[in-house]
Amino acid sequence: MESLLKDTVKNSRIPARLDFLQSGTGLILGLFMWVHMFLICSVIFGKEMFNLVAGMMEAKFLSSSGHGWPILVVFAVAGVSAVFVVHAALAIRKFPHNWKQYKILRQHVKMMNHKDTNMWFIQFITGFAMFFLGSMHLIIIMTNPEINSIASAGRVNGNVMWPFYALLLICVELHGTIGLYRLCVKWGWFIGKDAKKSRKRLQLLKQALSVFFIVVGFWALTAFYMIGRQI
């Protein structure tokens, strides 16, 4: 009660920190997804390449037995999960809070057909979807930390899970690239002297990155699917 009353006398600094934290966690997750995608894409160059990369993540080169420590993957997933939860908790503040707000938003998006507003709507939908899809993926990996081409192919091909991964891929890549673009315009990064021109360039870059990551993502997913069929 005391602190609530204090806020009426002097604005709390917390909203500033929360805004920064939302951007910060988004940046970490967005860039992590790029690295993640490059690691995954090693499967395009064959099973052996993927196993080599996965082995490096488990620090196989450091263990005398050559088995590595899958627990490292558990730690990494736990770290990503923590950032994921914080980001989700902060981002949910921006969602429409009730039916009236949602109705206004829908009507506004439809009426304006404005690029950046449409992109935010996509972020809102994909973000909501990832509460479930992202959590499922993190739990699956954390409880089965051993990563190799057979295990990963089994995850994609076994139990008809490929539609889940296809959906997750689209959500992650759209949400991530739009989010990184928004961070730039939000904080004024890479804007230079001509903000309008820079924003156009950032939009193009965002578009290109979305297409690139979705294409290579599906390529990798197909590769896993094919490996899974051979098992």
Partner 1 sequence: MEQEGRKLTIQILRFNPQLEGDTPRMVSYEITEAPGMTIFIALNEIREKHDSSVQFDFICRAGICGSCAMIINGTPDLACRTLTSKFKDGQIKLLPLPGFKLIGDLSVDSGTFMRHMNERIEGWIHDIKADEVDFNKLEERMDPDVAEEIYELERCVECGCCISACATKRMKDGFLGAVGFMKLARYALDPRDKRSDSDFYEIVGDDNGVFGCMSLLGCEDYCPKDLPHQTQIAYLRRKMLSVK
| 201 near partner 1, rule: CB under 8 A | no
- Choose between 101 and 207: whose C-beta lies nearer to partner 1: 101
Query: Could you please report the per-residue DSSP string of 34-49?
Result: HHHHHHHGGGGG-HHH
Q: Which two tokens stand for residue 146?
A: 């051993």
- In the complex, the smallest distance separating the C-beta of residue 182 from partner 1, rounded to whole angstroms, is 5
Interhelix angle 47-57/14-40, rounded to 10 degrees, is: 140
Mask of contacts with partner 1, 74-93, x by CB under 8 A?
-------------------x
Q: Which amino acid is at 171?
A: C
- d(CA 50, CA 156) in angstroms, rounded, equals 15
- Choose between 44 and 104: whose C-beta lies nearer to partner 1: 104
How far the first Cα of the chain sits from its last, in Å, is 62
Total residue length of the chain: 231
The binder of partner 1 chosen from 38, 45, 75, 187 (CB under 8 A): 187
| 114 near partner 1, rule: CB under 8 A | yes
Residue recorded with tokens 């709390």? 12
- d(CA 39, CA 17) in angstroms, rounded, equals 32
Q: Which of residues 2-31 bind partner 1 (CB under 8 A)?
A: 10-13, 15-16, 18-20
The binder of partner 1 chosen from 31, 38, 89, 101 (CB under 8 A): 101
Residue recorded with tokens 């990494």? 76
| 125 near partner 1, rule: CB under 8 A | no
- Choose between 67 and 114: whose C-beta lies nearer to partner 1: 114
The binder of partner 1 chosen from 46, 79, 96, 158 (CB under 8 A): 96
- d(CA 81, CA 148) in angstroms, rounded, equals 21
Residue 121's contacts (CB-CB under 8 Å, 6 or more residues apart) are 105, 109
Mask of contacts with partner 1, 138-177, x by CB under 8 A?
----------------------------------------
Give residues in contact with partner 1 (CB under 8 A). Answer: 10-13, 15-16, 18-20, 93-94, 96, 101, 104-105, 108-109, 111-117, 120, 182, 185-188, 191, 195, 199
